[in-house]
Amino acid sequence: MKRRRFAKNLALRNMGANTTQFCALIRTPQRLDVLLAGVFAEHSRSQTGKWIAEGAVEVDGKLMQKSAYLVQAKQIISCKTPEHAPTNVLPNTELDCPVLFENASCIVVNKPLGMLTHPTADPASFHTSVASWLSARLDGKKDAPTLGARPGIVHRLDKWTSGALLLAKSDAAMRWYAEAFEQRSTTKIYLALVCGRLPYPKGRIDSPIGRDQVRRIAMAVTSLGKNAISEYTVLAEGKLGSETVSLVRVHIHTGRTHQIRVHFASIGHPLVGDEVYFTRITHTLLRGQWLHAAHLEIPDMDTKKLLVVDAPLPPVFTEILREASIEVPTI
């Protein structure tokens, strides 16, 4: 049975005969091939570009064969796609993912360090991500989510970022919570340990972020990127060896890939352990950046009241703070 495709900024309809139709609920114009690659997450931009060139895509009922066409908000896209490979999410009952909150519509977990949110192209990841944990937990449930290649995954955290991650328990919940993130009805607070002493106790980084044109695995501050805003407060300073480190509380108003990591690297204070963004300080206990999603607020689908969840720090992060003579904070 084919699975319907879903992306957080789109409202999809399965039209049969491998045709998907959606209304683009986007804030700014997006290239048609990029938009489709976001919907059909297991297909690359070059593949969606091929569909467009082959005449498989219509915009507002008219054939569109230009990949660079800029889709406007609320335009209707119809895409006739080939048969898709099955989802690469394999259930795994042996994974441990601590639950912070659960009700009829969602689960909020404290994502462990080193666990992927969803699989990559590597087959070894097909049964080791949060998506596999969720699939096993909801196995056999009548209303379990089926939308997209990663059912139930509403947003994501990087592999080496820990903390609060919200998961949907049904397709209706997937749409509800995805829309909340898209409309920025959420509050997301992170804790980050950064290199050096920041010049001000509070600050705002308002710099657009896009793909690094030289290192394609990384992101960068670029005028060609999307707007990204991070506000921070310095909570404490300490020392790791001879190096000064600062613990900061970060409120992100947007959700760009690697946003906190890129923003602090751009002002000369990369995160401790973040070798992708040229950190000056590493630690034997770290395999990635010191970054934790500590606090999440989002409207609850069931009660319509604000759901508030705090995620405790992983022991490794706590140990590093103590080594730096920094008191473990409360959000």
Among all residues, which ones are annotated catalytic? 158
Backbone angles phi, psi at 160, to 5 degrees: -100, 20
Sequence-distant contacts of 124-130: CB under 8 A, at least 24 apart: 125/88, 126/88, 126/89, 126/90, 127/90, 127/91, 127/92, 128/92, 128/95, 129/89, 130/95, 130/97, 130/165, 130/167
Backbone angles phi, psi at 321, to 5 degrees: -60, -45
Pairing of strands 162-168, 243-252: unpaired
- Residue 182 contacts residue 6 (beta carbons within 8 Å): no
Cα dihedral sign, 184-220-237-327: positive
